[in-house]
Amino acid sequence: MIVGQYESVESGIAILFLQYYSIVLSRNLPEDMKTQFFIVFLIVSAACGFGQTSFAKGQELFMQNKPSEALVHLENSIVEDPTHVEAFLYLGIVYEQMGRTDEAIAVYRQILSRAGALTANVTTNLGNAYFKKGSVAEAERLYTQALNADMVYALAYLGRANTRMKRNALMEAVSDYEQYLLLDPRAPQRRTIERLILLIKGEFAEAERKRLVAEEVARLEAERKQRLLDEVSASLQGAAGASKGLSSGAEDIEGYEGEFELE
């Protein structure tokens, strides 16, 4: 079977046909025959996908929502070119689509240090994979790392907002959601996010109102108690003053100057 020697049946046919065409060109044949054979070669090449790289084939199948078919081509592409960052990105996404999250993480980490201009993209995808695994803290750290690489990478704000929602840091989440919508005003989730922001802000506004009311009630109660204490204190001081006036001199023993006679 041709696949044993070539990447696929189609590529094997195309390569064999190319070899045969080379032989034809080397022979002393009429030019019109060579031209006809060349046209046939182009048709066969197009039909077999000759000249299309593993990445291109994998990407095409990925875009057709055929991850299982794209997988082998994308795996081949990173072997053929270990510096092809996009191939690693596509492969990682395919692994995630197939539920192979740990393999996706390994692929993203493999290329992360060499991602160059796509560092924020790779780091965000890595954060997404950890978020799927439930590693919220690690996911948030990676989203922040992505933003350190590119502070206007919208998807990193979205991912970090979701992690902050998970740990109930709601106002921090709102800040990230707002930044995401600012950077991507046509985001498909825009209406949902805007409703969520309004809900959170509404709840916080109500909570703040209740807090202020509670503080005011506490302040008025403290003032009432203080007035009561002041009134009691003033009353006691007044009573003490009156008592001292009635008993003034009672502590002294009056002298007796007359004669004492015993009858």
- Tabulate helix, strand, coil % of the chain (nearest 5): 75, 0, 25
User: 244: pLDDT confidence band, cut at 50, 70 and 90?
Assistant: low
User: 241: pLDDT confidence band, cut at 50, 70 and 90?
Assistant: low
User: 227: pLDDT confidence band, cut at 50, 70 and 90?
Assistant: confident
Q: pTM of this prediction? A: 0.63
The CA distance from 11 to 51, in Å, is 9
Closest CA to 145 of 133, 134, 130, 132: 130
- Please give the mean pLDDT across all residues of the chain: 79
DSSP symbols for 66-112: -HHHHHHHHHHHHHH-TT-HHHHHHHHHHHHHTT-HHHHHHHHHHHH
Give 41 or 206, the one with higher predicted confidence.
206
Domain positions in the chain:
1-51
CB atoms within 10 A of CB 129: 26
